[in-house]
């Protein structure tokens, strides 16, 4: 029997570890992650959808409000998504919150590029001084993950406190805060 999952808040939904879902997911304010050997048959309406490797995705139409979010994996006939029919490339630029946060001594920064871009990802102290540059160069479209081990450009450990990380990719610029606690 098919079920419909309605996610009203903005909490992300991760479906993984060999899960089988027959139904629909309506999450207009959240990200839906399909990870690690998932079998999904249904429709998804979400703010953002990420499809990882080894995911079998079959889709069919449901009635959803177009303004509820980006409607992905919706069609009149049931079809198998293959050969890039449903891409796991991001639809828009995004800079995710680092994790863990607060952290000690290492944190991960993840961002999305909908197209190949010249990227700069830098860490700044609270005074606005660049402490470390994680990325500087051209990157392909996709999801990218980098780690920072709380050191400066010379390899010295930085002090506890608030740090700002800034992503610039083409005309897109976004900053976020992170907290190092020792």
Give the 3-state DSSP-derived string for the chain, with helices as H, strands as E and coil as C. CCEEEECCCCCCEEECCCCEEEEEEEEEEEEEEECCCCEEEEEEEEEEEEECCCCEEEECCCCCCHHHCEEECCCCCCEECCCCCCCCCCCCCEECCCECCCECCCEEEEEEECCCEEEEEEEECCCCCEEEEEEEEEECCEEEEEEECCECCCCCECCCEEEEEEEEECCEEEEEEEEECC
**What's the predicted TM-score (pTM) here?**
0.55
Nearest residue to 151 (alpha-carbon basis) of 129, 130, 126, 132: 132
**pLDDT tens figures, 156-174:** 999 999 999 999 999 999 9
Mean pLDDT of the chain: 78
Q: How far apart, in Å, are the Cα atoms of 52 and each of 8, 14, 17, 49, 171?
A: 24, 11, 12, 10, 27
Fold for the domain defined by 94-180: Immunoglobulin-like (2.60.40)
pLDDT at 176: 98
pLDDT at residue 62 tops 60? no
pLDDT at 50: 78
Q: What is the pLDDT of residue 12?
A: 73
Classify burial at 65, counting beta carbons within 10 Å of its beta carbon; exposed 0-12, middle 13-18, buried 19 or more: exposed
What pLDDT sits at residue 33?
80
Q: What is the domain partition of the chain in residue ranges?
A: 3-80, 94-180
pLDDT greater at residue 24 or residue 181: 181
Of residues 21 and 120, more confidence is placed in 120
Average pLDDT over residues 89-110: 92
Q: How confident is the model at residue 84 (pLDDT cuts 50, 70, 90)?
A: very low
Among 41-50, 57-66, 83-92, 152-161, the range scoring the smallest mean pLDDT is 57-66
């Amino acid at each position: 029997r098919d079920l419909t999952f309605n996610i009203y808040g903005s909490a992300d939904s991760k479906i993984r570890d060999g899960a089988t879902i027959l139904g629909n997911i309506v999450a207009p304010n959240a990200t839906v992650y399909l990870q690690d050997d998932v079998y999904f048959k249904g429709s998804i309406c979400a703010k953002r959808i990420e499809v990882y490797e080894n995911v079998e995705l079959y889709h069919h139409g449901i009635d959803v409000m177009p303004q509820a979010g980006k409607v992905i994996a919706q069609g009149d006939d049931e079809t198998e998504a293959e050969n890039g029919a449903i891409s796991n490339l991001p639809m828009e630029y995004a800079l995710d919150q680092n994790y863990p946060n607060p952290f000690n001594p290492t944190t991960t920064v993840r961002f999305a590029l909908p197209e190949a871009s010249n990227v700069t990802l830098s860490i700044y102290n609270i005074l606005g001084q660049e402490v470390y540059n994680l990325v500087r160069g051209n990157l392909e479209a996709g999801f990218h993950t980098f780690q920072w081990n709380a050191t400066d450009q010379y390899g010295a450990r930085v002090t506890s406190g608030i740090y700002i990380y800034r992503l610039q990719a083409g005309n897109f610029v976004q900053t976020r805060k992170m907290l190092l606690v020792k």
